[in-house]
Structure 1
Amino acid sequence: MQMKNDEKQRILLAKKKVRRLKLFYIHLAGYIVMLILLSYNLYIVEGPYKNNIISLNLSIMVAWTVFIIIHGLRVFNGRSIFKRSWEDKKIKEYLNEDEVEETKTWE
């Protein structure tokens, strides 16, 4: 019985993580679309209120960028882009390249 409860807890936790990741990707897609639209608006703006519109658009872009970074940090908390295994693999790769270069040199 305990095993079924543990399995249910793991499934619920996995579903929660997937939902948070899905919401982040939706948020990111909306951010990219709005960033494109606001950038286009900066390009076409004219008139007496040009400076006000530009400052409003730039402040929205900066604020939303900060929010998307915070959201990403909350979703990907503790995850590293470059894991230790990746670093070790790259070190071995570069060491192998050095060995190959040493054998190819003409003496």
Structure 2
Amino acid sequence: MSEQIHDEQIAPKLLEVGKLCEQHGLPLVAQVEYAPGDFGMTMFLPEHSNLAMLLMNSAAMCKSNVDALFIAIERYAREHGHSSVYLHRLGIPLQPEKGEAA
């Protein structure tokens, strides 16, 4: 029943909101858990999306896998640099690593 509600009522509205956000260049991450462990997701992440939006997207994509989320955060930090005390303590360089895009 919940999946049907998602598919018939919620997903079309999120698609409409997603298209509106895309038209105006506004980042969007929306996820609905219509049954335990089953998700529907709508997202639009333009190039200028900030780290908060990218983190929300990573968390949504990883679902319940915390390790996958931490790996995504570490990968982003290595490629783009960071200012995190926690990541620095783990030995992840503050500046992007050589050969990586900033």
Provide the TM-score with structure 1 as the length reference.
0.29
Larger Rg: 1
Structure that is richer in helix per residue: 1
Structure that is richer in strand per residue: 2
Greater RCO, 1 or 2 (C-alpha within 8 Å, sep 6+): 1
Provide the TM-score with structure 2 as the length reference.
0.30
